[in-house]
Amino acid sequence: MIITDVMIPFKNGIEIIQYARKTKPNVPIIVLSSLGEEEQILLEAFNLGVADFIPKPFITNELALRIKRILQ
């Protein structure tokens, strides 16, 4: 599983998702982002097949539950 933010230092989260899709096409991906921060980039992430989106700030228990749901 990959958990990434849309905007991270030195890389773009979309680049990470694109690389993952080329090398491990079935790996589940969760994207974190501030709601509305980069709406167009977030749409692109869903077009690349991310499993879920969690807006920041988030509750760690929510993240844990979503990870569990995706991995089942």
Domain residue spans of the chain? 2-71
Whether 6 shows a pLDDT value over 70: the answer reads: yes
Amino acid in position 58: F
The CATH class given to the 2-71 domain equals alpha beta
Quote the pLDDT of residue 2.
95
3-state secondary structure (DSSP) of residue 40: helix
- pLDDT tens track for 21-57: 999 999 999 999 886 656 777 788 899 999 999 988 9
The pTM of this model reads 0.86
- Which residues lie below 8 Å from residue 20, measured CB to CB, with a gap of 6+? 2, 27, 29
Q: What does the buried/exposed string (b/e) look like for 4-41 if buried means 16 or more CB atoms within 10 Å of the residue's CB?
A: bbbeeeeebbbebbeebeeeeeeebbbbbbeeeebeeb
Radius of gyration in angstroms for the set of CA atoms belonging to the chain, rounded to a whole number: 12
